[in-house]
Every structure is written in C-alpha cells, then in structure tokens.
Structure 1
Amino acid sequence: MTAHRQLHVALGARSYPITIGRGLLDDAGALAALVPGRHAFVLSDRNVAPRYLAKVEAALAGRTLGTLVLPAGEQEKTLVRFGEVMTALAALGASRDATVIALGGGVVGDLAGFAAASWMRGVRFVQLPTTLLAMVDSAVGGKTAVDLPQGKNLVGAFHQPAAVLADTATLDSLPDRELSAGLAEVVKYGAIADPAFFAWLEVNAEALLARDPAALAEAIAISCAHKAGIVARDETEQGERMLLNFGHTFGHAIETEQGYGGLLHGEAVAVGMVMAARLSAARGMAPATDADRLAALLARFRLPVELPAGLSREALAARMQLDKKAVSGRLRLILWHGVGRAVTVTVSETVIPG
C-alpha cells in the first residue's frame, strides 16, 4: 500500500492535519479518533452516502450519532438546507463537544462547515472529502457558506476544520465530469503561483485523466501544500489568499446567472480562468500565448473554455458587482502576468472579455 501523505495547515493552536491516501475511510480507529466528544453528526448527500456512510457510522459506534442525507448538487447549498441541519443538530441534542462531519464534496463541506460554525457559536468540524475538487480546494482553509439567488457563498463564516482526511480511493468511482471539474482547481495552483507544477500537469494530463494513483496523489499533495501555505499566511483573505480566486469572480457570476444548475463549479472556474487570462492579455499585462496555453491545458482536461451560449455579458457584469471582493463600488479581480504570476487588480468598471 502506498504510504499516506500528511501536510499541516499552520494556524497556531488551530493548526490541523491534511491526510491524503487510499483506504482512509476503512480505518475505523482513525475515524473514531476524530470525534473526542459524545455527539457526532454526519452530513452527506444521496450520491455519496450509499457508498461510504455505513463505514463512518460503524467507526463511530458508541457515540450519540445523527445523520442527514441531502439531495446532491449546488442548488442544495441554501439557507433552507442550513435550517434543516440546525434542526437535526437540535434533535440530536448536540452539545458543545459535538463534532460535525462533512462526508462528500464541496457543497456538503461548505454547508456542514457553516453549520458547525453556527451551532452554539462554533463546534468541532471534520472534512472527509470524496471529490477531487473538495480534496484540493474547498475542504482546506475554513471557508464555509451557503448561496443566495443573488450570489454564491454570500452567507458564511471562516471556520477551520479540526482535520481533513482525503481518501483517494473515493476518486475511483467519481464521474468523469466531476474529476475534470476538480482538475480545474488543480490547474489553478500552477496558474497562479507554480509554473513548474503547471508544466508537470501538461506532461501528466493523460495519467491524471486515467486516474493513475501516483499522479493523482502527487497532484493532490502539491495542491494542498499550496493551499495550506497560503491559508497559514492569510487565513481571512486580506491579501495573498485572494489569489486563490483566480477565475472565480467570473466563474461565480456564471454559476449564479445559470441558477446553480448549469456548469459545475470547476467548469465555471475553468471558463473564468481563461476569461481572466484573456483580459490580462487585453490589458497588456500578460502574453496572449499564455492564455492560449492555459486554455489548451484545460481543454485537455475536458473542461469548457468559452462562455456558455445564451449568457448576457451585461448580466454577468452586474452579478460580479456583488462579489465579496468588491470594495466601495470597485471590483478586485485576480488577473496575471502569465503562468505562475497572479496579481490582484482593482477596476472601476467590470469588463467581460470577448
């Protein structure tokens, strides 16, 4: 068996481990150790729960355990569902020593984390990500939120998990489209800060698409190392952490305008990254050839790189004005000077590149 890899998010007393490896959900002892108190509450969805919930429940035998299984999809990340989680925690009688466990992808993780941040003003929280996107991005860093019809992730809190266990065996059954969506976030790390990793992805694209275990483990570990370092230096997104939003301002506007029922998050981010790269080239900040190189790599990962048909550029521009990074009517965009060199730029007028 390949050795498990462990990284740390260094946040002083709130530091926590990220463990990456195959078979982590089969280790009942390790799962039980994540719940030091009496109460445990597991949130999952209908795609993930049939495969893995029984393992987690068995590992937590002896605890007072509650579960809630939601329909899958971004459209479920709402205040209504948040209310259902609060009601379930109340029915469990969850005390201050409770642990909330997110078993699933980014939607489950965001919702469970926000619930943990809110229940009794904050209880312990553990991430068990089962998608590539969650493993490399949303499960790490403590951003928790739900969506509104007006915009994505507008209601939420920073609440760091106590641990992240990424069982890469769960990726064996991940649909191809979800795998590609996760690879968009992997590409992001190379695009914003690591040209050597970007080049490695170009060389290993086919191996990643074929789910080669060694290639996936390497990509996840490098991505998590970047995320952990940035979060440790800028936990609440006052500076450097904003760079992780490369492509996201455009992407979130696309998701919102489609009513959270069109492109997957990673797909929208892929389009958004290309839009940011094209805008950077149009502003004379970066070579157009680097935008072409980014689009080519994303396309190899079976991701969209053009704005979906039927979306109004004016509507997207209006959506972007409600972005969380906007300040005093001015929008902060993450652009770049080329592969590996992302920067924050403040603009007074939203521009949607052609």
Structure 2
Amino acid sequence: MQLSVGTADLKDAITWAKDALSQTSNEFSKIRLETAGNELKVKAVGREQAACYSIPARIEGEGSAVVWADLAFKGIQSLSSDYSSMETEGNEVKVWSGGFTLRLTEVEDSVEFPDLPPVQGTILPSSLAYGVQRSAFAASRSTNDPEGFKSVRMNFRDSEIIFTATNRYRIARCVTKWSPAKEGKGVALVNASALKSIANSFKSDSDQEPVRIAFDPDDPEILAFESAGKLRTIQLLDPAELPETEWLFKDDYEINVIMEKEQFFSTFKRVASVADPREGRVHVDISPAKAVISVANAKAHSKETVDATLIGRASEMDFTPYHVTEWLSSINLPFIRLRMNEDVKIVEFDGQDGREASPDLSYRYLVTPADPEK
C-alpha cells in the first residue's frame, strides 16, 4: 500500500472511525486502512458500532493494513503539513508529513465489518439531529436500568419517523420527516447515547447531502447511516425491550395552562436553584391568571409568580427539576402549554406559536408529577 492524502481529511477519517470504538476492549480497538479506487477507506468495528470514512487519495500502490486505533489517532493528530504520505514496509505502516515520521506496527485483523442492510430512505442531517436531540435526553442514564430504557425507539411510518424515549417517569416524542424509498412501517430500538453521537456527527453536514438510512424492517439487527463518504452502523436492540408508549398521549385534556416560555423557564430555574436537580421538588400551583412556583425544603425556601392562562379548574403538582428544565432547554417556541386531566397523574408539555394558538403536536413531552418533598 502506498498513497498520499490530505492531512485534514486523514485526521477527520481517523477521528470518525475511532468514535465507533468508545469503551471497547483491545480486541476491537483497531483501525483498518485500505485502498479502493481513488480513495482511502478508514474502518473500525466496535462491540456495538462500526464506522467507515472514505477520503480522496492519490493511490500509487493498493493494499490494506490494520493498526492499533489509539496509537494511530494520537500519531496522525500530530501531523502538521497539508499533505501526508503512507505506505506499508514489512509489518509496519509508515506515515510521514513534513519532517515528522510515524511508524505503526500492523496487528491481526480479527473483526469483520458487518454486512450492510438495504437502504430504506433518506433524511436531512438537520432533521436527524432535531429528532434525536428532542427525544434522547429523556432516556435513562442509570447503569441499573434495562437497556430498553436507555434507548430511543424509531418508528418509521411512511414519510415520518417518530423518535421516542422514556426513563419510566417521562416520555419525549418527536416527529420528523424523511424520504422513504417506499411507503411502509418499521421499528428500530437504538442505544440513546450512541444515536446522539451519530446524529451529532452528521449535524454539521449540509442538508444538500441527505443521510441514507439502511435497515431490514423484517429482521432489524443493524441500523446504518451514510452520507458524504461517512458510514456508521449500530447494533439494534429487540423492540420488545421498550414498552410501547403511544397510548399514553391523549387527544384531549380537561385542564390546559398556557404560559410564556421564557418567563416560565427563567422563573422555574431561579426557584429551582435551591432544590436538588434530581432529588428535589418544585411545586407549581396554578390558578386563573397566574402560576405560583415554589420550593420548600429543610435548607431553603423560594417562590415566584408567573402569568398564566388557565382553561379548566385550578391545579397543583410537584416536579423533579431536571425533568422540566431539560425539556424547556430543547424547545424554541415562544409559548408552552401544560395539559392534564383532573387526576393529574401525568402532565403533557407542548410548545406553541402564540397564547391563542394550538399546541404543536410534532413534539410532545409527558412527565409524571413527583411526590411532594417530605
């Protein structure tokens, strides 16, 4: 193998491939370099993810080599000239750029790149990032929870993808558009952390280059995302590991509360500043024309009032602070609407364009009120 390549492209490719190897054992901590036509392909296979990045190169000799990922990443990130050369010498890969020379010992290639499922359609990078960002935050981050609650369900329904995640106490549901190769339905259950990493990696790409999504609806084992020479695959979970939640979203509620988003958000954060974000409680007491937000615990008290439009009877409830603030951070509409029935067993949060507008049901968030702080 002998070639020359742009150094910036090589750094991007190595970084992309290494991201698939996070928290894997030495068996998987390898990167494969191989030529294909006028390209250099940088590949990596981890326990749950695989990655490939194809970059243009001047190929003078075809071939392939496998090296340790960490050493390749550290060494290649040190290259400073605009262009780099690479060749195999005996059992080593030699990389040089300017006056710097890097030699990497070849290792046994023990892991095969997975076979790719058929492409089912395309989605804009911004739409993929939007759907994942507004759902994955609701997944559990506890190592003690089942894998299903640490995942995002992707429901493919004709021209829509519904992203849903829950940690049992809250559910985020976001609908985005995509362009399917053919109309139909499918379900994929993906680890939330891995899906966020994948979506963020495509986020900076132009929407002129859509992301191709590949999976087999009849045998969903692998989900693949590919765009502009970048490919990432991920092992899927059994959809049965996450209970279906669609039935929890209701068409109508007996109580509606409309508030200006920024006023409510800033007030809620101020009041909640004296409560533990995950164990504390914030009390919301809603009456006609106002909502009183308060915290009362053994160490501190805080209270502030915001304007509110109430439809239905007065209500009060307690929330775990981060359940509310994380959703408010993800929404960009000027007003919010809280909807609930009179038993107040679950509260739906929605955004809307104006005080008199209808709620935007493309992004819905359910929260179970917390028990009052003792």
Higher relative contact order (CA 8 A, sep 6+): 1
Q: Tell whether the structures are fold-level matches, with TM greater than 0.5.
A: no
Q: TM-score, normalised by structure 1?
A: 0.26
Q: Larger Rg: 1 or 2?
A: 2
Q: TM-score, normalised by structure 2?
A: 0.25
The structure in which a higher percent of residues are strand is 2
